[in-house]
Amino acid sequence: MKKFFTIVAALCLLLMASGSSFAAGKKLIVIITPSHDNPFFKSEAVGAEKKAKELGYETLVLVHDDDANKQSELFDTAIARGAAAIVVDNAGADATIAPVKRALQAGIPSFLIDREINQGDLAKAQIVSNNYQGAKLGGEEFVKLMGEKGPYVELVGKESDTNAGIRSQGYHDVIDQYPDLKMVARQSANWSQTEAYDKMESIIQANPDIKGVICGNDTMAMGAMAALKAAGKGNVIVVGFDGSNDVRDSIIAGDIKATVLQPAYRVAQMAVEQADDFIKKGATGQPEKQLMDCVLINAGNAKKLETFAIED
Amino acid sequence: MPTMPSPGRKGLALAALIAPCLFALLFASCTIVPDKDENADKKDKIDIYFASDKFNADEFVEKAWDAKVVPFFEEKALPIGEVLAALAADPKTAGSKFGYREKAEGSPWNYRVKGEGKIVGVNTESRASTVDVDLDGDGVADMAIQIGPVIKDTGIRDSLDFISFTNFTNQLEFARLSNAFNKKVNEAVLASLNREGLMGKEVAFTGVFTQLQDPKAVRLTPVILEVK
């Protein structure tokens, strides 16, 4: 009897799912990102959803909270719903290979934004910011702000994300050319504002003379800046990466000194456009892996920045 | 962003364990190693996530340089005067006529060019040294040529139509490739350059420049360079 109910329930769900996606004859695009607590990811979701609706798709917006298991379940949801495409900012360069493969086997193409996976020929597109180019821009600005010398700290992003590695590489390829810049601490704060605040607090205690903090993203820069101000060290040079409105406001207020804009909103829209091309024509017309250049944001152009896009 | 680390993240605990050791190593090395090697040493000690030695960028460049890269530039390079005139006339349309980029949007155009001129300025205080070159004989610099040892831009990698980001595992490999190309420029093109007395010399070049935000800023990375 229990089994019977399960089957009925499953059938109902299936009907509901198919009912909603076929009712208006609309195809479904599932949009999966990390938590919208970080405005960067929210901007991606908003950009992708808007473009998908414009192009006549139904959308389902989901978050994986950087949990690879949860992401795997969300892929299964997309497969069960018979999605026409999945647009995803993924939860791990290695952990995401399996779900993308599973979707592909179910006939559902995936379009990756922001973060890569370590295997090609699975996703139909991987559109990522040119993090290396961006990190070098941020690194060069940091060196200039520091006057090419002094003790500094690096806050690194989440280990499972290629972007944490590539940004750190870009920073060091620039900064390490200046022997008078001394790194006194390097820690991961997992992209998190609160974690950055906590880590920064203890780093300040151990290294009261630090002159600068270079961060792998803007939320960590916000956390670091808050900890520095709380310790009466608001004049320490902080540089971030992303180009969020929070950091823009902080730059205008004279706190954080610079960040690097990733065109997150546009990247999300491009992924949907390419998904649409693929659904309609069977090809995106672009190479699988695509780099989008970043732009340096400082006091000179911060006012032009709005929701991960800059006015020309 | 999650405020708490996801459950079961052994990596975090591991990082917490490794980090202090790493710093200890760093400081240890800083005190022993002489100034000159400090940077190279520091770099080796920094643990970059996903960095692997599977891909040897230097070897890739070594194999490609004489066999493919130099002939490619000899074949594709356009007269620089023509390209600069097009850029001056309309920076928005010059790219599609004279430039190259792998995909349609979000990355700058690369111009493969050749030409001759006279060195009218030498900037060697910075490690990213350049010479200013006058092309039309009016005594005013029209462009700069990078003479290293630090080479900016990724123009060589990004102007070769037989190289695609799609064929590389991740951004780290692709970044390393651009660095290897720039290193090769230092070895193959610039090592033999007599950096003294460059001022006033005639120069012939083939190379690439990337269209920057300011279309008048022309910073060429040489593939062939001859100072007469």
| Mean pLDDT score, A289-297 | 95
Mean pLDDT of chain B: 84
Please choose, from the candidates B175, B190, B150, the residue with its C-alpha nearest in 3D space to the C-alpha of residue B57: B175
**pLDDT tens sequence across A179-228:** 999 999 999 999 999 999 999 999 999 999 999 999 999 999 999 999 99
Whether B3 sits inside 8 A of A192 (CB atoms) is yes
A2-126+264-291 and A131-261: identical CATH topology? yes
Contact A268, A50 (CB under 8 A): no
* pLDDT at A241 > cutoff 70: yes
Work out the pLDDT band at A8, boundaries 50, 70, 90. Answer: low
Average pLDDT over residues A152-168: 94
pLDDT digits (tens, 9 = 90+) for B153-181: 999 999 999 999 999 988 989 999 999 99
In chain A, residues with a C-beta closer than 8 Å to the C-beta of B39 are 176-177, 179
Q: Which of B46, B49, B177 to mutate to test the interface with A (most CBs of A within 10 A)?
A: B49
Instruction: Please state the ipTM of this predicted complex.
Output: 0.80
Do B189 and B223 form a contact (C-beta atoms < 8 A)?
yes
User: What pLDDT is recorded for position B38?
Assistant: 40
* Number of helices and strands in chain A (H, E): 10, 14
- pLDDT tens for B186-200 read 999 999 999 989 999
Is pLDDT larger for residue B15 or for residue B5? B15
Give dist(CA A136, CA A170) in Å, integer: 5
pLDDT value, residue B53: 76
As a whole number, mean pLDDT of residues A93-100 equals 96
Which residues are within 8 A (CB) of A261 and not within 5 positions of it... i.e. 6 or more apart?
A242, A243, A294, A295, A296, A297, A305, A308, A310
Q: Residue B7 and residue A154: Cα distance in Å, rounded? A: 25
Radius of gyration for the alpha carbons in chain B, expressed in angstroms and rounded:
21
pLDDT at A128 over 80: yes
CB contact (8 A) between residue A183 and residue B26: yes
- pLDDT for the residue numbered B19: 55
**What does the mean pLDDT of chain A come to?**
92
Topology, domain A131-261:
Rossmann fold (3.40.50)
A-proximal residues of B, 76-105, CB under 8 Å: 102-105
| From A34, A67, A165, residue closest to B48, measured CB to CB | A165
Query: Would you kindly state where each structural domain of chain A is located, as residue ranges?
Result: 2-126+264-291, 131-261
Give the separation between CA A271 and CA B96, rounded to whole angstroms: 23
* Residue A144, pLDDT above cutoff 70: yes
Residue A7 has pLDDT above 70, yes or no: no
CATH of A2-126+264-291, one of 3.40.50.880, 1.10.1040.10, 3.40.30.10, 3.40.50.2300: 3.40.50.2300
pLDDT number for residue A19: 41
Tokens standing for residue A250? 């902080």
Residue A267 has pLDDT above 80, yes or no: yes
**Is the separation of the CB atoms in A44 and A114 below 8 Å?**
yes
Partners of residue B134 on adjacent β-strands: B118
Question: B171 is written with which tokens?
Answer: 């951004």
Cis peptide, bond prior to residue B222, ω within 30 of zero:
no
Helical residues (DSSP H) of B111-219, grouped into ranges: 155-159, 171-184
- Note the pLDDT of residue A9: 54
- Percent of chain A with pLDDT strictly greater than 90: 88
List CB contacts (< 8 A) between A72 and chain B.
Answer: none
Beta bridge partners of B115: B205
- Give the mean model confidence (pLDDT) for residues B86-99: 93
From B39, B49, B166, residue closest to A179, measured CB to CB: B39
Q: What is the pLDDT of residue A17?
A: 46
Per-residue pLDDT averaged across B16-38, rounded?
A: 45
**Closest chain B C-alpha to A39 CA, distance in angstroms:** 9
Length of chain B, in residues = 228
For residue A90, which of A104, A77, A79, A100 has the smallest C-alpha distance? A100
Write out pLDDT tens, residues B69-85: 999 999 999 999 999 99
Element (H, E) at B147: strand B143-149
- pLDDT digits over B123-160, tens only? 998 888 999 999 999 999 999 999 999 898 999 999 99
> How far lies A274's CA from each of A18, A161, A281, in Å?
24, 24, 10
Instruction: Give B102's contacts (C-beta < 8 A, 6+ positions apart).
Output: A287, A290, B158, B161, B164, B165
Contact between A193 and B38 using a beta-carbon 8 Å cutoff: no
